[in-house]
Amino acid sequence: MTARTGAGLLDRPATPVGTWLKIASGEPVEIMAYAGFDFVVIDLEHAPLDLQTAYRLINSAAALGVTPIVRVPDTTASTIQKILDAGAMGILVPHVDTVEQAAAVGRACRFPPHGVRGAGGTSRAGAWGLRPNAEYLATGNDEVLCIPQLESVEAIKAAPEILALDSVDAVFVGAADLSMSMGSAPSSPDVLDLIASAIEAAHAAGKRCGLAFGGVPERAAQAVRDGCDFVLLSNDTTMLADAARTLVKAFREATG
């Protein structure tokens, strides 16, 4: 199979920038689209979002020209199946530590003979059965991104083997969990060295590596200069919280 790009997301001339969606409402995804984000990651791991809400957010993002990716809460094939049938163009899988786990996740994302994903051509991904079956199957195998999240020293060490899997398209380094597992901090030299090794492994395999940076675009820009291929900035809840706190603080200061 040729390199997958998530319907062109990873082939853009500028570094793709996305954000996390944690609010169970359609308005944030619209706002992020109008703000200019290239993709969103609908977060089923750390937010109280259910499959039905994720389905609606996927639909809204796709309609607005934003690539919908979903961080699934677990690695079960049934969860991945439902998310892909809902039309997600990428799956971000947390806590993938071994090549065996990555292989299982990759198989769940692909139709036979490349994997074990079941055919659901009457779903949204198949345009309710109106999409030619060959096209539906080809899109699932050739466009949908499978992105394991590396969040431990074990995972980083396994990165070359994980990235060698044809079913895996990129990796995402979860610096916060990685540093916690080491008893360190995301900006410490030992963590930065591991991140750099993951980026190097991705590029050696001809694939991509992504990182998240909260609300610090300057750090994200430096990471891109250092080789990072796609970035996530902040999330809908934090943007709202920061804006609200800044507004109230400014008012209190202005009124003495």
Residue 53 inside a domain? The answer is: yes
Question: Residue 52 pLDDT more than 60?
Answer: yes
Please check whether residue 2 lies inside any domain of the structure.
no
Give the domain extent around 84: 9-254
Backbone angles phi, psi at 148, to 5 degrees: -65, 145
Whole-angstrom distance, CA of residue 207 vs CA of residue 209:
7
Cβ pair 42, 70 in contact under 8 A: yes
pLDDT at 1 over 60: no
CATH number for position 221: 3.20.20.60
Instruction: Tell me whether residue 4 is in a domain.
Output: no
Percent of the chain at pLDDT exceeding 70? 99
Residue 110 has what DSSP assignment?
S
Q: What is the pTM of this model?
A: 0.94
Catalytic residues: 46
Would you state the pLDDT for residue 206?
A: 96
Convert the pLDDT of each residue in 163-200 to its tens digit.
Answer: 999 999 999 999 999 999 999 998 899 999 999 999 99
Tell me, yes or no, whether 164 lies in a domain: yes
Q: How many domains does the chain have?
A: 1
Rounded to 5, what percent of the chain is helix, strand, coil? 50, 15, 35
Asked whether residue 3 is assigned to any structural domain, the reply reads: no
DSSP letter string, 24-44? SSSHHHHHHHHHT-SEEEEES
